[in-house]
Structure formats: C-alpha cells, structure tokens
C-alpha cells in the first residue's frame, strides 16, 4: 500500500495494491501496518461504520464534528466513483483554509484518512456510488456541523457537466468565514490533543506543510 500526505496537515491518501485475476479483483482498503507507518500511530478504535449510497451529482459535506469530542475518519469508495475532499477548518492550523482532493474509483481504490477537526465532503461521479467510513466516534446529532461546499472563498471544484444535488442542511450551511466569526470551528491544538497528543505526520515545528 502506498501513502501520500495531502495538502491538509495530517490528512493522508492511501492506495492499496490491487490483485486482479479471471474472477475479478481483490484488495485491502485498510492495512494497519501501512497506516501506522504513515500516520505514526495505529488507527483509532472504531466506534462506528457508515455506508452511503449516492446518485451522480450528489454532494455531501462539508461535514465536521465539534471538537471536543471530535471524530477522525477513514474513508473509501466501495462502488462507483467520487471526488473526496478534505478541508482544513482547524483554527490555528498551519494549513488552515486549504483543501485537497482524492479521486476514488474502482481502478485505484484509494482511501483517505481525515484527522480530527478536518472538514470532509465528496461529490459522487456515478450513480449508486457507495462510500464507506470508519469513525473514531459515534454519531451524536448536536455535535455534527456543516459548512457550505459552495463557499466561493474555498472554491472547491465541481465537474462542469454536473448540477450539484445537496440536502437542505448542506444548502443552508454557512461559509468558513461566518463559522469562524461565530466561534463554530475547532481549534487545532484541541484536535491534536484529541488524537492523542501526537503532532500530525507531516508537521514540523514552526514549518508549513
């Protein structure tokens, strides 16, 4: 499995080795040894798994969990294709306001680690796209928050031939600037402490990622 650090500090892309034969293919979307080597510690204890099915054009996010308690995610596309986004909304992070994306499909089968406090979103590129998540915390409605995917300051890209389909909640979500003004964003130092006090793997004291 190959690992690549993303532009958002602490976020990591994983690409497993795919084994094809006449029957189809076999792969492991998550491998503890590879994760530990890239992240610096084993994966969190999984408190919940989620499974979503989306039609082409569906946009889910930008979602995040208030910190504390905070939630980390390990995400992969089990069927179909999607563009997966991580957005650094942690106040005080050296990469605050930056985002990065990973194309998830049935060719490369990439996965993304989303650190505590980082915003997450995806755009389904095919009908019946299935996204699977492992989460470090259980779902608590009052802790789950959203930012606008369409925030012009973030400028997250959408395919030009696609009309985005958003839930009412996501359409009503505020921009990053409004959330910061209202004190709704997680603090970077709190997020690091929730992850066990470890600095993210692409962090260097006093340096930008």
Peptide bond into 159 cis (omega under 30): no
Could you confirm whether 133 is annotated as catalytic? yes
DSSP 169: H
Whether residue 63 lies in the annotated active site: yes
Q: Say how far apart CA 57 and CA 165 lie, in whole Å.
A: 6
List Cα–Cα distances, 10 to 7, 28, 85, 186, in angstroms.
9, 22, 14, 15
Out of 39, 63, 109, 190, the active site residue is 63
Query: What's the longest Cα–Cα distance across the chain?
Result: 56
d(CA 116, CA 192): 8
Catalytic residue among 74, 133, 188, 190: 133
In 22-177, which ranges are E strands?
A: 24-26, 48-54, 59-65, 73-79, 82-87, 99-104, 111-114, 119-124, 129-135, 144-146
Asked if 13 contacts 204 with a C-beta cutoff of 8 angstroms, the reply is: no
Active site residues: 63, 133
């Amino acid at each position: 499995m190959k690992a690549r650090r993303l532009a958002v500090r602490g976020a990591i892309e994983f690409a497993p080795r795919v084994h094809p034969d006449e029957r189809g293919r076999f792969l492991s979307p998550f491998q503890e040894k590879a994760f530990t080597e890239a992240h610096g510690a084993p994966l969190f204890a999984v408190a919940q798994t989620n499974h979503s099915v989306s039609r082409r054009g569906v946009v889910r996010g930008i979602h995040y969990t208030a910190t504390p308690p905070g939630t980390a995610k390990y995400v992969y596309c089990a069927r179909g294709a999607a563009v997966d986004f991580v957005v650094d909304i942690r106040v005080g992070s050296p990469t605050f306001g930056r985002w990065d994306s990973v194309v998830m499909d049935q060719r490369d089968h990439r996965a993304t680690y989303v650190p505590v406090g980082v915003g997450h979103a995806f755009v389904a590129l095919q009908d019946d796209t299935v996204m699977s998540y492992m989460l470090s915390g259980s779902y608590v409605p009052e802790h789950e928050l959203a930012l606008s995917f369409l925030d012009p300051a973030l400028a997250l890209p959408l395919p030009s031939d696609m009309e985005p389909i958003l839930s009412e909640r996501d359409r009503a979500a505020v921009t990053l600037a409004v959330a910061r003004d209202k004190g709704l964003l997680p603090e970077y130092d709190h997020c690091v402490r929730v992850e066990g006090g470890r600095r993210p793997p692409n962090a260097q004291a006093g340096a930008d990622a």
